Amino acid sequence: MPLVTSTEMFRKAYEGGYAIGAFNVNNMEIIQGITEAAKEENAPLILQVSSGARKYANHTYLMKLVEAAEIETGLPICLHLDHGDTFELCKSCIDGGFTSVMIDGSHLSFEENIKLTKQVVEYAHAHGVVVEGELGRLAGIEDDVNVSDEDALFTDPDQVEEFVGRTGVDSLAIAIGTSHGAYKFKPGQKPQLRFDILEEIGKRLPNFPIVLHGASSVIPKYVEMINANGGKMPDAIGIPEDMLRKAASMAVCKINIDSDLRLAMTGTIREYFAKHPDHFDPRQYLKPARENIKELVRHKIRNVLGCSGKA
Ligand code: G3H
Ligand code: 13P
Ligand code: ZN
């Protein structure tokens, strides 16, 4: 099956009250681990590539690896640009075979965000590609914002209809308290998401797919595996899985996961070297890393996203 857009996936996910996993990919082992899990679970799948991943692995290598995964699994896979920041980058991915792009104008003014997003939508739609826009800003704890600043970063439900109407985006990423990376909350802070904002956005945009970035749970098992084997990760706190399940049952149709994959891969490799300090064949340590990525993605599909059997 050729690469697909996310249109049909999101329509079914919205109706079914589940979400599609959008997993970041950077190399062959990550692509293999994710796609093998999705195949065994018969789950729809979004593979996403950041501009950093594209610089690291090269566009053509990533395209060919994803095509190989497609041939091997026969699954409907959507290939998505994560956090595109310019029209030129989005155009290059559209011209180069991606079926979905994100234009992230969330740091711009409302009007500038609309202008840039609309420009990408016009080009993408003319080429059969779908577009994710973003409204509101994801904050990290390192931003050290106070409570009133935080409110200003969350997506304003009063703006969403106008943004979607004027840009023509196919999905919308929103800020309700998630953030990128492994340190999403201050030590001792209770993880909280603004479900009231999500609910209000769902009312303003009926049947419209919402995207949640920064949605890794920072699974303690892998942080412990890193720290038990020479790592030094302080108080990493992610989004609790029950909150992600709740979001998936609401308007959220796409849940972005990268940090959990990184932690699983790094924890596994650290543990491997602690047990086998004399080994130096990359296949020996990348094999269990790939296995644990597969295990992690299977867990997400079954127990968090709810998209098992929905391909
Ligand atoms: O949201 C960002 C993703 O986790 C990708 O991260 O830019 O380091 O590839 P990256
Ligand atoms: P995490 O860092 O929580 O995995 O978020 C990934 C993401 O949002 C990619 O766009
Ligand atoms: Zn993101």
Per-position DSSP letters for the chain, written without gaps between them:
-----SHHHHHHHHHHT--EEEEE--SHHHHHHHHHHHHHHT--EEEEEEHHHHHHH-HHHHHHHHHHHHHHH---EEEEEEEE-SHHHHHHHHHTT-SEEEE--TTS-HHHHHHHHHHHHHHHHHTT-EEEEEES-PPPGGG---HHHHHHHS--HHHHHHHHHHH--SEEEE-SS--SSSB-S-TTPPP---HHHHHHHHHHSTT--EEE-S-----HHHHHHHHTTT------B---HHHHHHHHHTTEEEEEE-HHHHHHHHHHHHHHHHH-TT---HHHHHHHHHHHHHHHHHHIIIIII--TT--
Rounded mean pLDDT, 23-35: 98
Give the pLDDT confidence score for residue 188 in this predicted structure: 87
In a domain, residue 2? The reply is no
Residues 54-68 have pLDDT tens digits of 999 999 999 999 999
Render pLDDT for 175-196 as a digit per residue (tens, 0 to 9): 999 999 999 998 889 999 999 9
Please give the tally of structural domains in the chain.
1
Atom of ligand 2 nearest to the CA of 83: 10
For residue 141, the model assigns a pLDDT of 63
Task: Quote the ligand 2 centre to 278 CA distance (angstroms).
Answer: 34
Q: How close is the Cα of 61 to the center of ligand 3, in Å? A: 22
CA of 50 to the centre of ligand 1 (A): 6
Q: What is the domain-level CATH number for residue 290?
A: 3.20.20.70
How far apart (Å, rounded) are the C-alpha atoms in residues 213 and 49? 14
Q: How far is the CA of 207 from the centre of ligand 1 (A)?
A: 28
On whether residue 37 sits in a domain, the answer given is yes
pLDDT at 147 over 60: no
Report if residue 91 sits inside a domain. Answer: yes
Q: Quick check: is 114 in a domain?
A: yes
Full-model pTM = 0.97
In a domain, 1, yes or no: no
pLDDT, averaged across the chain: 96
- Predicted pLDDT at 139: 76
Q: Which domain holds residue 46?
A: 7-305
With CA atoms as reference, report the closest residue to 24 among 5, 51, 3, 64.
51
Which of 193, 210, 233, 257 to probe ligand 2 with, by most ligand atoms within 8 A of CB? 257
Mean pLDDT of 148-175: 92
Residue 86 lies in a domain: yes
| Domain presence at residue 311 | no
Among the bound ligands, the one closest to the CA of 257: 2
Question: Residue 310 domain-assigned?
Answer: no
In percent, the amount of the chain with pLDDT more than 90 equals: 94
Residue 278 annotated among the catalytic residues of the structure: no
User: Taking Cα atoms as reference points, which of 38, 8, 249, 214 lies closest to residue 130?
Assistant: 8
Q: Which of 30, 49, 83, 132 to mutate to test the pocket of ligand 1 (most atoms within 8 A of CB)?
A: 83
Would you state the pLDDT for residue 295?
Answer: 98
Average pLDDT over residues 138-159: 75
The letter for the amino acid at 111 is E
Q: Within 13 Å and on the Cβ side, how many CA atoms surround 134?
A: 24
Quick one: what percent of the chain has pLDDT higher than 70? 96
- Of the residues 82, 104, 156, 260, which is catalytic? 82
